[in-house]
Chain A
Amino acid sequence: MNALTRPARLVEAIGRGVLDTVRAAGRLALFALAGLSHLLRPPFYWRNFVSAFGEFAFFSLPVVALTAVFSGMVIALQSFTGFSRFNAQSAVADIVVLSVVRELGPVLAGLMVAGRVGAAMAAEIGTMRVTDQIDALGTLSTNPMKYLVTPRLLAGALALPLLVVVADILGVLGGFVVSVVKLGFAPEAYVMNTLAFVQPMDVIVGLAKAAVFGFLIALMGCYNGYNSKGGAEGVGGSTTASVVAASILILCFDYVLTEMFFSR
């Protein structure tokens, strides 16, 4: 009897897990659609948008800049070590610019911002939820989705590409400094190589990725915060969940977008 019921229980558990996942994905999709639908219906809360935009673009600049510079420097070092085995050191500039613009710029900026802004967003909205502030909005003729979520989703999608432009420039600069100062590359040749190799499409797709990542960070921060329950512990849990979920989604969508635009 037990031997028969055990596999059945396992199937039941797997089935329940799948259903829960599908249900959660559906709830998230509906939440995103509700947030976006308010873009088309006035009023739009510009103050909240500007504040969220500042959090994304301006206050995240130092951490993203540092990450980009050091990533560019490390890629230069590592690719030089690898390519020198095949006498292909001249490809260092190409590798640096390609990896920074296509991948590391958007992905690292996204991960950093998910940890900084996504977490703060979830904590702020989560605290508003458990202290009745979101209910209070509803009693003051204000739709909480329109007030809290829509401006943040738009700010995330618009601000991260700007941040990634800076990250791209600084990442390439980091690679340039290491290549010229430490590895002995000629500055003019390095710059010429970089400019010759990078295509407008590389930059455009990198920025498109950044827009998607920014939207996902804001979405996960808002969704987890909005659905917080159970006081301080619940807010802590939703903050963690927002960072973890945003980071995983960034990496998944990075693959999907790369596959869409760059696979041949």
Chain B
Amino acid sequence: MSAALPKIRIRGLCKSFGEKRVLDGIDLDVEAGTSTVVIGGSGSGKSVLLRCILGLIQPDAGTIEIDGVDVLRQPRREQERQREKIGMLFQNAALFDSLLVWENVAFGLLARSGRGGPRIRRSDARERAGEVLAQVGLDPSVGDLAPSELSGGMQKRVGLARAIAARPEILFFDEPTTGLDPIMGAVIDGLIVECVRGLGSTAIAITHDMPSARRIGDRAAMLYRGQLVWQGPAASLLDSGNAMVDQFTHGRREGPIGMELRR
């Protein structure tokens, strides 16, 4: 029975900002240990979906279950406990400028130290940060640099290291390859796949980079005007048989997806 329970189950998720309905009844299951890629145009609600699951945005309606527990109906403390299972790589890495790289990587470990997580000294956290930096292909000496001294690709790696440092059960990736050259994009994708498999985590990535989507994802879903219009294997993204997905993945101007103009 419990084997069939998805790691993340979303039902009827809705969110509006003023008149604009950004999420309009999203239903999505993400099985444990799999990666799901959500594709869609800019402003289609991909980031809002992730932020709702993370608790950064309160949805208007619907349920979000993690391990069968509806996090939206839980007391605040329980919600925070559920969400501690999640690690997140932000679009621009979102590293803390005022901290050194190793402090960024070890931030979650130190924050949880003695508060639900194992008690950890700063020296041990420093050591663990070095290990995780090595895991994402960076020399541990990078830990002593400031984030502003790193290139975009290195910042993404550090962001990934920060996301996986506490060995989360769930990983979210928000546009992981945006702003990177194709080779660096492939390197980051490779690291993401390695980390997800290495940790046995469940992952959701949002992107509109098709090669990246196919490299990262086991499953894929397309979000359009607040609704999931297609779900299927990531490998079939380029020949899904769905007119919207085909137009999007092949970058065609003609098709059912019209360019939205702001009135």
Contacts and interface: CB of A to CB of B under 8 A. Distances in A.
Contacts of A128: 96-97
A129 B131 CA distance: 29
B90 A135 contact: yes
A141 B92 contact: no
Given A132-B94, A133-B94, A133-B96, A139 B88 contact: yes
A141 B168 CA distance: 12
A188 B83 CA distance: 69
Contacts of B87: 139
Contacts of B111: 140-142
A17 interface: no
B115 A139 contact: no
B88 A141 contact: no
Interface in B87-145: 87-88, 90-92, 94-98, 107-108, 111-112, 115-117
Contacts of B98: 124
B47 to A, nearest CB: 10
A43 interface: yes
B56 A135 contact: yes
Q: Could you say which of A43, A124, A136 has the most chain B C-beta atoms within 10 Å of its C-beta?
A: A136
Q: How large is the interface on A (under 10, 10 to 19, 20 to 34, 35 or more residues)?
A: 10 to 19
A135 B95 CA distance: 11
Contact of A132 (B84, B91, B108, B162): B91
B214 interface: no
B115 A136 contact: no
Nearest to A124: B98
Given A43-B115, A135-B51, A135-B56, A141 B84 contact: yes
Nearest to B116: A141
B97 A133 contact: yes
Given A141-B80, A142-B107, A136 B96 contact: yes
A15 interface: no
B237 interface: no
A263 to B, nearest CB: 44
B94 A131 contact: yes
Chain A binding site: helix, strand, loop or mixed by DSSP?
Answer: helix
B55 interface: yes
Nearest to B168: A139
B108 A141 contact: yes
Given A43-B115, A133-B96, A139 B54 contact: yes
Q: Could you say which of A131, A137, A140 has the most chain B C-beta atoms within 10 Å of its C-beta?
A: A140
Contact of B90 (A43, A127, A136, A141): A136
Contacts of B96: 128, 133, 136-137
Contacts of B83: 139
B86 interface: yes
Nearest to B98: A124
Given A43-B115, A133-B97, A138 B55 contact: yes
B178 to A, nearest CB: 13
Given A131-B92, A132-B91, A132-B94, A139 B107 contact: no
A142 B80 CA distance: 10
Nearest to B107: A140
A132 B107 contact: no
A138 B94 contact: no
A136 B107 CA distance: 10
Nearest to B117: A141
A138 B56 CA distance: 8
Interface string B41-59: 0000000000100111000
A194 B107 CA distance: 53
A124 B96 CA distance: 11
A208 B259 CA distance: 60
Interface in A136-150: 136-142
A140 B162 contact: yes
A122 B140 CA distance: 33
10 residue pairs, one from A and one from B, having the closest CB atoms: A132-B94, A140-B108, A136-B94, A141-B111, A139-B88, A142-B111, A132-B90, A141-B112, A133-B94, A140-B107
Given A124-B98, A141-B84, 19 more contacts: A128-B97, A131-B92, A132-B90, A132-B92, A133-B95, A133-B96, A133-B97, A135-B90, A136-B88, A136-B90, A137-B96, A138-B55, A139-B83, A139-B87, A140-B108, A140-B111, A141-B112, A141-B116, A142-B111
23 contacts: A124-B98, A128-B96, A128-B97, A133-B94, A133-B97, A135-B51, A135-B56, A135-B90, A135-B94, A136-B96, A138-B55, A139-B56, A139-B87, A140-B107, A140-B108, A140-B162, A141-B80, A141-B111, A141-B112, A141-B115, A141-B116, A141-B117, A142-B107
Interface of A: 43, 124, 127-128, 131-133, 135-142
